[in-house]
Amino acid sequence: MSEFSLDFHDTATAFADKTNSELKEKYRLFRLLNSPILNSLGTVATKFALSIGLPVEGLIKSTIYEHFCGGETIEECDGAIKKLAASNVGTILDYSVEGKATEEDFDRTRDEIIRTIQRAKDDPNIPFAVFKVTGVAPLGTLERLSRKKKLDAKSQAKCERIHKRVAEICDAAYKLDQPVFVDAEESWIQDAIDRLAAEMMARFNQERPIVYNTIQLYRKDRLDYLKNARRTARNEGYIYAAKLVRGAYMEKERERAAENGYPSPIHDTKQRTDQAYDDAIDYCLKHHKTMAFVAATHNEKSTARLAEQMANADIPHDHPGIFFSQLYGMSDNLSYVLAKAGFNVSKYVPYGPVADAVPYLMRRAKENSSAAGQMSRELQLIEEELKRRKLS
């Protein structure tokens, strides 16, 4: 067994592509995000200002938007793509427009997602594309499908349009040989998403992994789901591909379960979620020769654990079926240190009009303030680099 370790406190590598002024601005922003009171006031004020038409988009764009998003259009993301690529970090263009509800909106979103797939074609700096099914489908229909409710004629027509849009996206990915993630969402619509993803895998993952489903391991049932889904793929002759995350809707899931009187689908403790995540990684690593997976996590322990397991098992750092992934603007210490060591790493780079991306940014702010430990670690690393550069 070889000795192997990564130094995720190597701030010189983590912030190598940040100028002194960029690093100071990052510090100011993360200090704000680390304060629950200031964070809450800021999100409320931002929503109010936008709702009454105050001209705050410029301020948003030059602060939180610039830090967490690549630009308003695919073309505006070119700078972020090149900057990440200079450190061997890939980009996943994530069209972050949410809350749309008309068929025309859903068609526009489908077309934009296909444009991200086309932009990624033949660009080694963009290893994956991604989409949310709720970007191309009404929530109510997904919920009825997940509950296996009988559909009336109107809902059936909507269902067929959902299926067609998802198939068109995955078909474009297949024809351009460009892998695409199907993002996970709330538990009460996830069954419909899982079934769509499985159907698309069976159709397009015959030769290589094109469609990836996302597994949220904070759910009590997901480890078993992962194992059963991989077995089904093997039995039916297609390649299973998964993106493993802890989960993004914990508070919403628990609140809805309490309101509706059913058991929470979320693990009772963080330790159980962490164990489920690591167990899922172990399972995927065990079967890495017949499947593909992405460890999408900001957790330092899980990241280090997988990297060490790969090294100890003599699995190449750049194995084409194993990727790490983090969000743009966060956990650069993980992404850049992994990339320097030769692992496959990518960043989710959200983009879209500032006003349309606000729900995404508000969720990032809320998640960051609730994950105080994560924010404190980010701040500590930035402070260490400021000291190393003799800027504080």
Model confidence, pTM: 0.93
Position 100 scores a pLDDT of 80
Distances 185 to 140, 248, 273, 319, 366 between C-alpha atoms, Å: 14, 8, 17, 28, 17
> Would you say the C-alpha torsion 343, 308, 276, 330 has a positive or negative sign?
negative
Helix (H) or strand (E) holding 293: strand 291-296
Position 56 scores a pLDDT of 63
> Would you say the C-alpha torsion 39, 42, 44, 47 has a positive or negative sign?
negative
CA angle 40, 45, 50 (to 5 degrees): 135
Contact indicator for 365, 65 with CB cutoff of 8 Å: no
Distance CA 113, CA 135 (A): 10
- CA-based end-to-end distance of the chain: 42
Nearest Cα neighbor of 374 from 330, 339, 338 is 330
Helix residue ranges per DSSP H, 34-91: 36-51, 57-60, 66-68, 78-85
Token representation of residue 337:
């240190």
- Residue 314 gets the label, from left (phi > 0), alpha (psi -120 to 50) or beta, of left
Helix, coil or strand: residue 66: helix
Distance CA 128, CA 177 (A): 10
User: Along the 392 residues of the chain, how does pLDDT read in single tens digits?
Assistant: 456 889 999 999 999 999 999 999 999 888 877 766 445 545 655 665 656 566 667 777 877 888 889 999 999 999 999 999 999 999 999 998 877 889 999 999 999 999 999 999 989 999 999 999 999 999 999 999 999 989 999 999 999 999 999 999 999 999 999 999 999 999 999 999 999 999 999 999 999 999 999 999 999 999 999 999 999 999 999 999 999 999 988 889 999 999 999 999 999 999 999 999 999 999 999 999 999 999 999 999 999 999 999 999 999 999 999 999 999 999 999 999 999 999 999 999 999 988 788 777 766 656 554 455 666 788 899 999 999 999 98
List of domains in the chain:
73-79+86-359 (3.20.20.220)
Distance CA 339, CA 74 (A): 24
> Which residues contact residue 323 at a Cβ distance below 8 angstroms, ignoring those fewer than 6 apart?
127, 128, 293, 294, 295, 344, 345, 346
